[in-house]
Amino acid sequence: MSQTVTFPNGRKMPLVGLGTWLATNEQEIETAVNEALQAGYRHFDTAYMYTNEKTIGRVLKQWIDSGKITREELFIVTKLPMIGNTPEKVGHFVQLQLEALQLDYLDLYLIHAPIGFKYSNDTELVPKGQDGKIAIDMSTNLEAIWTEMEAQVNSGKIKSIGVSNFNSKQIERIVKIAKVPLSNIQVELYVYFQQKALRETCAKHNITVCAYGPLGSPGRGALYASRGVTFDAQNPMEEPVVKEIAKKHNKTPAQILLRFLVQHKIVVIPKSTNPQRLRQNIEIYDFELSSVDMGRLEALDRGDKGRTFGLDSFPGVDKHPECPYLLK
Ligand SMILES: NC(=O)c1ccc[n+]([C@@H]2O[C@H](COP(=O)([O-])OP(=O)(O)OC[C@H]3O[C@@H](n4cnc5c(N)ncnc54)[C@H](OP(=O)(O)O)[C@@H]3O)[C@@H](O)[C@H]2O)c1
């Protein structure tokens, strides 16, 4: 039975969801979502940027139509793309995404990142300027985008809203103007980068936290190479302390890394398209880490040095006035 965190509006988000970034092969994601539903996943994390909403939507519809699940049992999260980071484009993308997912409401909609890219059409997700660099929209107004996100909640198309990749200062700014609560933030968070300061900010404002890259996101090499960036983050599943605790509990290192976060009431969205691994990733409720185990894992935090998603992922974003890694 899946455990949940509760939003200020009373809605509940399952602590474990299926991540789907880099799962774009249609057959692969179709099989993964089917396997995940069978394994008990009800929470799915996607984004316009992942270009897999249509396939995910098709599988979800098959399950709902067959009567095997109800819409109410599902928790579907998706995100506003960076090319949609203007108030005029929010409603446009919400509508496109609802259609792709074949849903009439989203459970949670996030601003994917505080940085805007220039919109030219719906398919150019990372537009390039004539100089070959990412066409960054320097005029991003986070407060104005948030107000439009609230309008989408009021129209009934979204149940709850949140942000992703925002820093503490940006969170505080949204909290200050929010009429609809900021319910959840999705950020990189794993054993080497535990985001303690940001979690404190969130706790203060009753904002639930979702960890992306909870296993250290080891599958990014090819993508980064295509952007001319070297990926050399250390794999926390190889960490001796994690392996030792895993052995003691007869669990895998991945299960230890996920259990550690879930025990802190942090939502996790491990990505896997492999049936065995995705099952393993949700089987984390039949054991508990002791306070000693928890302490040893907490001690693995490397603070900001543990961050692996940052300026590297999109070269040039450091020029944007809302770049979350530079704003102090
Ligand atoms: N908001 C954002 O900006 C943002 C950024 C990044 C990610 N996300 C979200 O967060 C999700 C998770 O992050 P992520 O995909 O970057 O990284 P992750 O979940 O930490 O790691 C996924 C990688 O680990 C492998 N894996 C999964 N389960 C495993 C297991 N039990 N044992 C060994 N290897 C395992 C996967 O390969 P297989 O598929 O082959 O199992 C895949 O290569 C994403 O899918 C996406 O939904 C959001």
Given this model, what pLDDT does residue 234 score? 83
d(CA 270, ligand 1 centre) in Å? 5
pLDDT for the residue numbered 311: 66
User: What does residue 203 show for φ and ψ, rounded to 5 degrees?
Assistant: -60, -40
Is any ligand 1 atom within 6 A of the Cβ of residue 275? no
Q: Which atom of ligand 1 is nearest to 112's Cα?
A: 1
Cβ 270 under 6 angstroms from ligand 1: yes
Indicate whether residue 13 lines ligand 1 (CB < 6 A). no
Domain ranges, ordered by start, for the chain: 12-319
Phi, psi of 280 (to 5 degrees): -55, -40
Q: How far apart are CA 46 and CA 216, in angstroms?
A: 18
User: How many whole angstroms separate alpha carbon 176 and alpha carbon 201?
Assistant: 13
Contact 213, 189 (CB under 8 A): yes
* Distance (Å) of CA 148 to CA 87, 156, 178, 206: 6, 13, 11, 22
The CATH fold assigned to 12-319 is TIM Barrel (3.20.20)
For residues 71 and 64, what is the distance between their CA atoms, to the nearest angstrom? 7
Ligand 1 atom showing the smallest separation from residue 79 Cα: 1
Number of H helices, E strands in the chain: 11, 12
What ligand 1 atom has the least distance to the C-alpha of 274?
41
Q: Does the beta carbon of 271 lie inside 6 Å of ligand 1? A: yes
Residue 174 CB: number of other CB atoms within 10 A?
25
Distance CA(178)–CA(129), nearest Å, equals: 34
Beta carbon of 217 within 6 Å of any ligand 1 atom: yes
pTM of the predicted model over 0.95: yes
| Spacing, Cα 169 to ligand 1 middle (Å) | 27
Q: What angle do CA 58, 272, 28 make, to 5 degrees?
A: 45
Is the CB of residue 35 below 6 angstroms from any atom belonging to ligand 1?
no
Vertex 125 angle, CA 59 and 318, to 5°? 130
What pLDDT is stored for residue 327 in this prediction? 57
Please name the residue whose Cα sits nearest to atom 29 of ligand 1.
277
Secondary structure letter of residue 159 according to DSSP: E
- Catalytic residue, candidates 41, 48, 50, 109: 50
Phi, psi of 325, deg, nearest 5 = -90, -10
Q: How far apart are CA 289 and CA 246, in angstroms?
A: 10
Residue 24 C-alpha to ligand 1 middle, in angstroms?
A: 13
Which has the closest alpha carbon to 139: 61, 70, 87, 66? 87
What is the Cα–Cα distance from 161 to 326, expressed in whole angstroms?
25
C-beta 324 within 6 A of ligand 1:
no
Q: What are phi and psi of 143, to 5 degrees?
A: -65, -40
CA 211 to ligand 1: nearest atom: 10
Q: How long a stretch of residues is the chain?
A: 328
| Tens of pLDDT, residue by residue, the chain (328 residues) | 479 999 999 999 999 999 999 988 999 999 999 999 999 999 999 999 999 999 999 999 999 999 999 999 999 999 999 999 999 999 999 999 999 999 999 999 999 999 999 999 999 999 998 888 899 999 999 999 999 999 999 999 999 999 999 999 999 999 999 999 999 999 999 999 999 999 999 999 999 999 999 999 998 888 888 877 777 778 999 999 999 999 999 999 999 999 999 999 999 999 999 999 999 999 999 999 999 999 999 999 999 999 998 866 677 888 899 999 875 5
For the CA of 212, the closest atom of ligand 1 is 10
Atom 21 of ligand 1, residue of closest alpha carbon? 217
- Active site includes 50? yes
What are the helix (H) ranges across the chain?
A: 26-39, 53-65, 87-101, 142-154, 168-177, 196-204, 221-226, 240-249, 253-263, 275-282, 291-298
Burial environment of residue 298 by CB neighbours within 10 A (0 to 12, 13 to 18, 19 or more): middle
Compute, in angstroms, the gap from residue 92 CA to the centroid of ligand 1: 28
Q: Which two tokens stand for residue 101?
A: 């997912």
